[in-house]
């Protein structure tokens, strides 16, 4: 016999909204966290519990206005409920669409709550189905549980779900389902504004119903109750009767019930795929294996096997001007890689593969390919499109081809549209925007084969062509979609003027690499080892015994059991913590804690940098080639990996010693560094238009001393170094939207004093105060903020009902325009310097970008010219209301 499943749609939608990260949205900015969470929940339930073609199901939603009946009983019914969050309101109209796409019928009826519709369907279904199963997060529906009616109650998140039978209800609430309305009437429900009986809680209500069965029997025996309990019930009699009426569900909602209408017949794959593509739910598309068929993506892929075909392709490119390109190579390391083939797409579904180094099959002569690529890639007359073009550009540069700035990179385009996302690989984008499952690399290359026969050159040309042309084709299709979205989001100038030209800059920087003096690092490692041994000996002397300094368990024993140092917090396993926060707290009074902190600091620097960097030096170049990421942060800042050279420490003595390992590789060359001075504060002055901050920068004043004098109320002549340091921390704390509590911990003042400091700051820099309020309000109204140059970041947190999440959103709203603008400015400077280096045929190399700083390797003959060039381009990258200033330094090592 079939089963009936009734989904409490309204309750499940709310559950999904609060369970899933509210930053989830499409590239056009539409929020999708509730839609996504609900879809995942329903799919899991459908797969696990519902038989297609046999069982029945229905999704019940509240209608606008709620229950007419209960509003007549009590005008304030549900008046305590907070308003539906705006982010959720936007999604509710689309819930029905995706539920129906999953093959589930949706029901709602004006004047009735979803609970009443569920009660009615449950009653009508119980005799027609083997079991009736209600899926909800609401405890009120437990009153419907009977011998064949069950409630599946969703707990935390969207995956925790518990089945409630008659016995389970009793186990949890100590009353049976048939007593549940009376139970709710006694205890009330503050969320729905059901009053209940004042002073009666869950335990008392359960005891009364266990003894007397019903409210009527309790009232008949009221004189047997304790005087206090009797008084509570009699005084609350009107509320009790009203509460019972409000809590009792309606079983005769006027809805037509036809068994056949609710039978679950599964979903229409193509229709559901279109909906999932619209919401960019690539993970669900993968889960359901709902891929566009190859026939849907009509493709015309050709292999170029002779010079005549190549010339035809060249003519076609001349006529269309826009094409996507992808290279197939033997390695991801550009210094090791050889080009095996090139694919070019000239339209959607139309692509060509040019093989040059396959072991099996006909290849085009490599010199012919190189000449062809130089013509179409080096000319500004063509629009070059690709996915992660930085890699391809590095390969081309290695072969003497200098590609012109790209027209569009789909990876960067997708990132600009949704910088809060984490994955921008081609497979992911194809799934998200096209619902298309691409051929995987593992399907064409036997990665389990021995290393000498498992690169792309061993793939037969026919297979390689299908795989590579698909890459170029899908990239072209994505370009058509994403470029339109970029234009509609008004980020086309940002893409064209900054992000696309930057690809060439970063490709060259990565090829340039950074030279580390390996011998210097070996000596530094020995020195650090000696320091660590000395520190260990001092620690052992205080401890009175030797122990494993790297074991947190043994350190805890020494500190807290043996030496009896004061404890503060415990780990998840219940043992006393020895983390940095604990040791910093102890270090003020206990030398062993100071020594342990010093030991850990040096050990981390040694293992992370000094001993690791020599192992990542490229054998072909003798240099370290980090990878810079344009899609690694939400603010637009670059990030770096393999290894992360942006994290090289600079503030400690040991950190500065590590930086000194970066030196010129050749004699008579120099390391030149250029660092923006207080760029974020200068951007704050520009964006806030604060007269005092603008005046300070225009007149070359010491901004930190000025701030210190205003927050402490003394003249600048009386400012101490400590007071200036606090002024500096306050200046930057304001930029990062730090709370009074967070600032108090940084500057070492109590909360009340810190609040005075902040108030004094805003009295003097009132324009900054107004800017902060303006950015918060803008983010709340629009859901995003922008940098000076148009970079956009969505901030769904700003409208959260959770105060902590909302505060995080406000910090993002304050800081992102400033930090993002700083990132855009230095990117512009990098592009302009790159252009000048090439225009003047200079040998100097840009080798590092560390947020506000650029590092170059410069020959002696170009040093003076480079100092002038770099300073000029960086200080004039944009025009602000205050001057941009750059501090230059040079030497035989990085400072």
- Cβ–Cβ < 8 Å for 821, 789: yes
Q: Looking at 348-452, which runs of residues are DSSP E strands? A: 350-355, 383-386, 408-409
What is the chain's percent helix, strand, coil content, to nearest 5? 55, 15, 35
Which residue intervals of the chain bear CATH 1.10.150.20?
685-816
**Residue 164 CB neighbour total at 10 angstroms:** 24
Read off the pLDDT of residues 291-328 as tens digits, 9 standing for 90 and up.
776 556 668 999 999 999 999 999 999 999 999 999 99
Which residues lie below 8 Å from residue 509, measured CB to CB, with a gap of 6+?
A: 628, 846, 847, 848, 849
The class level of CATH for 300-489 reads alpha beta
Cα 365 from chain centre: 45
Give the burial class of 781: count Cβ atoms within 10 A of its Cβ; 0-12 exposed, 13-18 middle, 19 or more buried.
Answer: exposed
CATH superfamily of 685-816: 5' to 3' exonuclease, C-terminal subdomain (1.10.150.20)
Q: How many CB atoms lie within 10 A of CB 562?
A: 12
Predicted pLDDT at 39: 92
Residues 6 or more apart in contact with residue 533 via CB below 8 angstroms: none
Report which DSSP code applies to 440.
P
Residue 84: pLDDT band (50, 70, 90) is confident
Cα separation values, 773 from 322, 738, 758, Å: 45, 14, 15
**Cα 82–Cα 85–Cα 88 angle in degrees, nearest 5:** 135
The answer to whether residue 59 scores a pLDDT higher than 80 is: yes
**Residues 239-276 pLDDT 10s:** 888 878 888 888 888 888 777 788 999 998 888 999 99
- The answer to whether the beta carbons of residues 243 and 228 sit under 8 Å apart is no
In the prediction, which pLDDT does 755 show?
Answer: 87
Classify burial at 596, counting beta carbons within 10 Å of its beta carbon; exposed 0-12, middle 13-18, buried 19 or more: buried
pLDDT tens by residue, 600-654: 999 999 999 999 999 999 999 999 999 999 999 999 999 999 999 998 887 778 8
Determine the pLDDT at residue 205.
86
- Give this prediction's pTM: 0.82
> Model confidence at 82, in pLDDT bands (50, 70, 90)?
low
Please report, to the nearest 10 degrees, the dihedral formed by the alpha carbons of residues 463, 469, 473, 474 taken in order. 50
Q: Where in the chain is the domain with CATH 3.30.420.10?
A: 300-489
- On whether the 3-175+249-262 domain is CATH 3.40.50.300, my answer is no
CA distance 447 to 464: 15
Average pLDDT over residues 432-443: 90
CB neighbour list of residue 742: distance below 8 Å, 6 or more residues apart: 733
Contact between 846 and 858 (Cβ < 8 Å): no
Among candidates 97, 99, 94, 104, which has minimal Cα distance to 25?
94
Residue 653's Cβ-count burial label (10 Å; 0-12, 13-18, 19+) is exposed
Cis before residue 725, ω within 30 degrees of 0? no
In this prediction, what percent of the chain has a pLDDT beyond 70?
Answer: 96
pLDDT band at 452 (very low <50, low <70, confident <90, very high): low
3-state SS class at 628: strand
560 pLDDT above the threshold of 60: yes
- For 25, list phi and psi in degrees, rounded to 5: -160, 170
Mean of pLDDT over the chain: 90
CB 357 within 8 A of CB 340: yes
Alpha helices in 609-702 (DSSP H): 653-659, 679-688, 691-698
Strands 56-60 and 3-8: parallel
Helix, strand, or coil (residue 852):
coil
The number of helices, as runs of H, and strands, as runs of E, in the chain is 36, 20
User: Given this model, what pLDDT does residue 793 score?
Assistant: 93
């Amino acid at each position: 016999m079939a089963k009936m499943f009734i989904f409490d749609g309204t309750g499940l939608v709310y559950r999904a909204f609060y369970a899933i990260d509210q930053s989830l949205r499409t590239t056009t900015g539409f929020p999708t966290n509730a839609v996504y969470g609900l879809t995942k929940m329903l799919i899991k339930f459908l797969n696990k519990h519902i038989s297609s073609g046999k069982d029945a199901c229905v999704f019940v939603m509240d209608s606008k206005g709620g229950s007419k009946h209960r509003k007549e009983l009590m005008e304030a019914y549900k008046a305590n409920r907070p308003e539906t969050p705006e982010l959720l309101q936007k999604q509710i109209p689309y819930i029905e669409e995706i539920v129906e796409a999953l093959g589930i019928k949706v029901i709602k009826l004006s004047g009735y709550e979803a609970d009443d519709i569920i009660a009615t369907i449950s009653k009508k279904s119980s005799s027609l189905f083997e079991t009736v199963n209600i899926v909800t997060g609401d405890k009120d529906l437990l009153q419907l549980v009977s011998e064949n009616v069950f409630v599946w109650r969703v707990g935390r998140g969207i995956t925790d779900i518990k089945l409630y039978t008659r016995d389970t209800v009793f186990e949890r609430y100590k009353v049976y389902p048939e007593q549940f309305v009376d139970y709710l009437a006694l205890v009330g429900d503050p969320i729905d504004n059901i009053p209940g009986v004042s002073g009666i809680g869950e335990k008392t209500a359960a005891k009364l119903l266990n003894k007397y069965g019903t409210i009527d029997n309790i009232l008949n025996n009221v004189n047997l109750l304790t005087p206090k309990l009797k008084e509570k019930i009699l005084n609350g009699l009107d509320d009790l009767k009203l509460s019972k009426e409000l809590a009792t569900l309606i079983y005769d909602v006027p809805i037509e019930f036809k068994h056949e209408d609710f039978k679950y017949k599964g979903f229409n794959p193509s229709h559901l795929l279109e909906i999932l593509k619209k919401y960019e739910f690539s993970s669900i598309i993968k889960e359901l294996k709902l891929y566009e068929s190859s026939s849907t993506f009509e493709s015309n892929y050709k292999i170029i096997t002779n010079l005549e075909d190549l010339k035809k392709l060249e003519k076609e490119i001349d006529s269309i001007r826009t094409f996507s390109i992808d290279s197939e190579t033997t390695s991801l390391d550009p210094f090791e890689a050889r080009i095996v083939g090139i694919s070019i797409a000239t339209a959607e579904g139309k692509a060509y593969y040019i093989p040059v180094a396959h072991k099996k099959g006909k290849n085009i002569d490599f010199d012919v390919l190189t000449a062809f690529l130089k013509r179409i890639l080096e000319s500004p007359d063509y629009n070059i499109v690709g996915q992660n073009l930085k890699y391809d550009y590095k390969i081309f540069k290695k072969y003497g081809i200098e590609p012109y700035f790209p027209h569009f990179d789909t990876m960067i385009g997708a990132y600009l549209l949704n910088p809060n996302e984490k994955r921008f690989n081609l497979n992911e984008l194809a799934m998200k925007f096209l619902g298309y499952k691409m051929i995987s690399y593992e399907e064409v290359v036997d990665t389990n084969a021995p290393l000498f026969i498992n690169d792309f050159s061993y793939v037969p040309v026919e297979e390689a062509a299908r795989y590579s042309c698909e890459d170029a084709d899908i990239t072209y299709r994505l370009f058509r979609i994403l470029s339109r979205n970029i234009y509609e989001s008004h980020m086309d100038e940002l893409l064209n003027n900054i992000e696309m030209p930057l690809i060439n800059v970063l490709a060259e920087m990565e090829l340039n690499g950074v030279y580390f003096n390996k011998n210097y690092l070996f000596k530094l490692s020995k020195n650090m080892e000696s320091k660590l041994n000395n520190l260990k000996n001092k620690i052992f002397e205080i401890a009175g015994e030797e122990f494993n300094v790297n074991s947190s368990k043994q350190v805890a024993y020494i500190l807290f059991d043996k030496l009896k140092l004061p404890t503060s917090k415990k780990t998840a396993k219940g043992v006393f913590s020895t983390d940095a926060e604990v040791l910093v707290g102890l270090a003020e009074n206990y030398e062993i804690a100071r020594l342990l902190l010093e030991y850990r600091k040096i050990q981390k620097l040694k293992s992370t940098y000094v001993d690791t960097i020599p192992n990542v030096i490229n054998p072909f170049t003798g240099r370290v080639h980090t990878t810079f990421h344009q899609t690694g942060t939400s603010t637009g800042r670059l990030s770096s990996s393999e290894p992360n050279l942006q994290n090289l420490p600079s503030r400690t003595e040991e950190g500065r010693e590590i930086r000194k390992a970066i030196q010129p590789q050749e004699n008579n060359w120099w390391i030149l560094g250029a660092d923006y001075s207080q760029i974020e504060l200068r951007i704050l002055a520009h964006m806030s238009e604060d007269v005092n901050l603008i005046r300070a920068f225009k007149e070359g004043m010491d901004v930190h001393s000025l701030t210190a004098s205003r927050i402490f109320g003394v003249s600048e002549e009386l400012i101490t170094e400590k007071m200036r340091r606090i002024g500096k921390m306050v200046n930057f704390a304001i930029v990062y939207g730090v709370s009074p509590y967070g600032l108090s911990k940084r500057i070492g003042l109590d909360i009340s004093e810190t609040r005075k400091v902040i108030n004094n700051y805003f009295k003097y820099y009132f324009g900054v105060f107004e800017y902060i309020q303006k950015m918060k309000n803008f983010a709340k109204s629009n859901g995003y903020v922008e940098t000076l140059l148009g970079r956009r970041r969505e901030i769904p947190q700003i409208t959260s009902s959770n105060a902590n999440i909302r505060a995080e959103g406000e910090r993002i709203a304050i800081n992102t325009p400033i930090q993002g603008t700083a990132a855009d400015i230095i990117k512009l400077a990098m592009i302009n310097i790159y252009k000048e280096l090439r225009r003047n045929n200079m040998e100097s190399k840009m080798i590092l970008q560390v947020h506000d700083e650029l590092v170059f390797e410069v020959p002696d003959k170009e040093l003076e010219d480079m100092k002038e060039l770099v300073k000029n381009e960086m200080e004039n990258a944009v025009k602000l209301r205050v001057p941009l200033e750059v501090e230059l330094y040079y030497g035989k090592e990085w400072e």
